[in-house]
Amino acid sequence: MRRLRLEVAYDGTDYHGWQLQPGLPTIQGVLEEVIGQIEGRPVHVAGSGRTDAGVHALAQVAAVSLENPIPPDNFRRAVNRLLPRAIRIRNVSEADPEFHPRFEARQKTYEYRIFRGEVCSPFERLYVYHHPYPLDEAAMMEAAPLFEGEHDFTAFAASDEKDRLGRSKRRAIFRSVMSHQGEILLYRVTGSGFLKHMVRNMVGVLLEIGKGNLKRGDLLARFEPGCGVAPGPAVPASGLFLVSVEYAPNDSR
């Protein structure tokens, strides 16, 4: 048995997220079906983490164990021939038999794209949040780094079925920056891990600061224990991309 590491890009528009859900189209479900055809038996494709319905990925990391001796590049070509056009395997490499893309991930980077122009191209509409209305963008850019550091992100996380396990919602954010790229107001964040809807709620709070409805102190108050503020408002999933997942040099050898 061998372990393969996969780098996967996908357009999440028509999918109910990464995680397998009976009766619903998901990225994991499609990959397991296609790779299972090549392997000739059911397979499990493990991902670095869940992306929600409608969220995209430039380089999600996944892994699968196979008996098939097919070389990595040939495997990539074979899988891509069978996959729908919205999902593509960008790279395949041999991995350590114990490699797990979620447990060994050191950090992840997401970006959120807000289109600020008056007219959004129909060819961009599925990959941005169109917000052409007045915003204090300077205030948003100044507030973005307030997320950096280790904080309790309970007030930025949607309820999750795993909440009953009582796991900590403290996360470390290494970099949080908002900038302009043409007509796109781009938010990019790198952290040790992310909770359900966390990035979308973070961007939603930054937007409220841009609208003048919140101040930087309101953002900081959400890190206080028992702040009692409900998460949100969450921005739409269409503008969110998983950009990269980083590992220690030998984690997937």
Catalytic positions, written as ranges: 52
203 and 186 Cβ atoms separated by less than 8 Å: no
DSSP class of residue 24?
Answer: B
Tell me how crowded residue 23 is: count the other CB atoms within 10 A of its CB.
6
Determine how β-strand 87-95 pairs with β-strand 46-47.
unpaired
CA separation for the pair 70, 162 (Å, rounded):
37
DSSP 25-88: --HHHHHHHHHHHHHTS----EESS---TT-EEEEEEEEEEE-----HHHHHHHHHHHS-TTEE
49 and 102 Cβ atoms separated by less than 8 Å: yes
Q: Which two tokens stand for residue 33?
A: 């079906």
Q: Which two tokens stand for residue 253?
A: 């050898």
Give the Å distances, CA to CA, from 186 to 31, 176, 178, 183, 240: 30, 11, 6, 9, 10
240 and 107 Cβ atoms separated by less than 8 Å: no
